[in-house]
């Protein structure tokens, strides 16, 4: 079974041109098949402000009304996605930039209104990702670069969490590939002390997750990230890594961030 790396890059790297350049160099150098997934960083918020559309956030999640959807589509699917694809081409990586609507790769469902109306936000399920389409692109020698825009199959675009897309893509591809899911962000991984870079937890097994939560080592936004990661492992993903974007080159030596395993 061929190996596949599904890599999600965070907005803090997208917002920094030097960091993004180095990350894309390291990404290009990774051996084997790979898929890159990205969100949008601050650019969508800055463009919205310049157009008089103020970002509305609830518990760190963006409310996507129709004006915001237009902006995030322009920024995620246009400016950021095509800029990254152009940079990858210059580095010798034959990338193809896509939304979920292209090739019907990712079909989402508009999030139902409960306590909060999140607007045009898409949720995914087990059947959302067309692994056959992604497989055909990989077999054609291309590297898919997916942004955080999906569709509902009825002509409506939807803004979808990039972490969720990465997990869903990794799970969908794991039936055909030995798939690793890699979350790249600003920290070295899961830390015993968030302010001490030497306190990296190099490996977490599923049964240790609850203990780390109880001890407060894992808290805040890291809890849902790790929960989703272990759900991906339960669904067939071989391993999940969480680590610093500018250390991606070390992943081939098994020396990158925190590895989550069964």
Residue 190: phi and psi, rounded to 5, are -80, 125
Burial of 194-231, coded b for 16+ CB within 10 Å and e otherwise, reads: eeeeeebbeebeeeebeebeeeebbeeebeebbebbbe
Pick the closest to residue 180 from 105, 95, 243 (CA basis).
243
- Binding site listing for substrate: 40-41, 62, 159
- Domain limits for position 137: 3-261
- Binding site listing: 40-41, 62, 159
pLDDT of amino acid 255: 79
Number of domains the chain contains: 1
- What is the rounded distance in angstroms from the CA atom of residue 134 to the CA atom of residue 46? 32
pLDDT of amino acid 253: 67
DSSP state of 111: P
- What is the rounded distance in angstroms from the CA atom of residue 131 to the CA atom of residue 201? 32
- What is the rounded distance in angstroms from the CA atom of residue 245 to the CA atom of residue 262? 24
Burial class (CB in 10 A: 0-12, 13-18, 19+), 160: buried
pLDDT of amino acid 209: 86
> Tell me, what CATH number does 220's domain have?
3.40.1160.10
In tens, the pLDDT along 101-126 reads 999 999 999 999 998 999 999 999 88
User: CA 121 → CA 117, 118, 216, distances in Å?
Assistant: 9, 6, 31
DSSP state of 33: E
Residues lower than pLDDT 50 in the chain: none
Three-state secondary structure call for residue 17: helix
């Amino acid at each position: 079974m061929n190996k596949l790396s599904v890599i999600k890059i965070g907005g803090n790297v997208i917002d920094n041109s030097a960091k993004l350049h180095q990350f894309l160099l390291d990404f290009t150098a990774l051996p084997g098949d790979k898929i890159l997934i990205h969100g949008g960083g601050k650019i969508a918020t800055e463009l919205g402000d310049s157009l008089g559309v103020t970002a509305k956030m609830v518990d760190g999640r963006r409310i996507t009304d129709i004006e915001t959807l237009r902006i995030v589509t322009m920024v995620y699917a246009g400016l950021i996605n095509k800029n990254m694809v152009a940079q990858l081409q210059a580095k010798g990586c034959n990338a193809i930039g896509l939304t979920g609507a292209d090739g019907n790769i990712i079909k989402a469902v508009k999030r139902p209104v409960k306590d909060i109306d999140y607007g045009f936000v898409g949720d995914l399920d087990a059947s959302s990702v067309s692994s056959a389409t992604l497989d055909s692109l990989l077999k054609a020698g291309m590297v898919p670069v997916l942004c955080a825009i999906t569709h509902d199959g009825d002509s409506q675009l939807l803004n979808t969490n990039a972490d969720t897309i990465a997990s869903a893509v990794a799970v969908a591809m794991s039936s055909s590939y030995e798939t690793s899911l890699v979350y790249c962000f600003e920290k070295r991984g899961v830390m015993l002390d968030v302010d001490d870079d030497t306190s990296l937890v190099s490996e977490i097994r599923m049964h240790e997750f609850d203990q780390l939560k109880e001890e407060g080592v894992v808290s805040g936004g890291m809890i849902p990230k790790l929960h989703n990661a272990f759900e991906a492992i339960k669904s067939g993903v071989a391993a999940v890594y969480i680590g610093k974007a500018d250390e991606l080159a070390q992943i081939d030596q098994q020396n990158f961030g925190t590895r989550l395993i069964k």
